[in-house]
């Protein structure tokens, strides 16, 4: 069933998102009991999205399946966080992260994401899976200025690679100063 969606033409909303819809600044919320779920192939192309995902993002399954996961990317998200995400996933490890995403109309929603590799029968990575829950509001407020700083470093560097390296170095410096690992840091935000 799902593979047939992947060759579907881009819907107008997806095209709009892909060309970076302007953020409205309006925050969307979803019920605490709900989990936003998506699965991707090895390249981050969406292969599955649950109903909660579609409802919160304001998209149809037809528009989502086959799209790169980056099409939901909010401009406030630092590239350093996604670099860490892909590094961890490539190493076969899970990662937790606070993420702000765009909805189809430019509204945004914060999530606490748990992203994991999916393993095949012989232990090889065959795709990725993300479960997202309602984040602790205090954690979001704590992460916002950190992400703002990381974005600032990335945006103020004419060289993309240098910007990313400096942004990651800044994140590492925050962790080193607090004497914690990234995982400990993420979980400490909610307390």
Out of 14, 30, 59, 79, point to the residue binding ligand FMN (CB under 6 A). 79
Contacts (Cβ under 8 Å, ≥6 apart) of 182: 84, 171, 175
Residue 23 binds ligand FMN, judged by CB under 6 A: no
Does residue number 97 form part of the binding site for ligand FMN (CB under 6 A)? no
The span from the CA of 101 to the CA of 104, in Å, is 10
The rounded Cα 88 to chain-centroid distance in angstroms is: 14
**Angle between helices 137-155 and 160-178 in degrees, nearest 10:** 140
Give the integer Cα–Cα distance in Å for 117 and 1: 23
Give the nearer residue to ligand FMN in terms of CB position, either 136 or 179.
Answer: 136
Q: What are phi and psi of 60, to 5 degrees?
A: -100, 160
Q: Shortest distance, CB of residue 3 to ligand FMN, whole angstroms? A: 18
- Among 64, 101, 108, 163, which residue interacts with ligand FMN (rule: CB under 6 A)? 101
Q: Is 90 in the site for ligand FMN (CB under 6 A)?
A: no
Contacts with ligand FMN, residue ranges (CB under 6 A): 38, 40, 44, 69-70, 72-73, 77, 79, 82, 99, 101, 115, 128-130
């Amino acid at each position: 069933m799902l593979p047939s969606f992947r060759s579907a033409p881009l819907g107008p909303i997806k095209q709009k998102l892909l060309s970076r819809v302007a953020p409205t600044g309006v925050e969307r919320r979803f019920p605490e009991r709900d989990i936003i779920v998506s699965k991707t192939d090895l390249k981050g192309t969406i292969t599955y999205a649950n109903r909660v995902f579609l409802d919160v993002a304001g998209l149809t399954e037809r528009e989502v399946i086959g799209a790169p996961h980056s099409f939901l990317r909010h401009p406030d998200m630092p590239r350093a966080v996604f670099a860490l995400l892909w590094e961890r996933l490539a190493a076969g490890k899970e990662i937790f992260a606070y993420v702000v995403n765009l909805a189809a109309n430019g509204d945004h929603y914060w999530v606490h994401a748990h992203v994991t590799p999916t393993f095949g029968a012989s232990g090889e990575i065959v795709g990725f899976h993300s479960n997202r829950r309602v984040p602790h509001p205090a954690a979001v407020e704590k992460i916002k200025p950190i992400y703002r700083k990381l974005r600032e470093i990335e945006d103020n560097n004419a060289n993309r690679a240098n910007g990313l390296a400096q942004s990651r170095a800044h994140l590492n410096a925050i962790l080193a100063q607090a004497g914690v690992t990234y995982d400990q840091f993420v979980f400490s935000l909610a307390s």
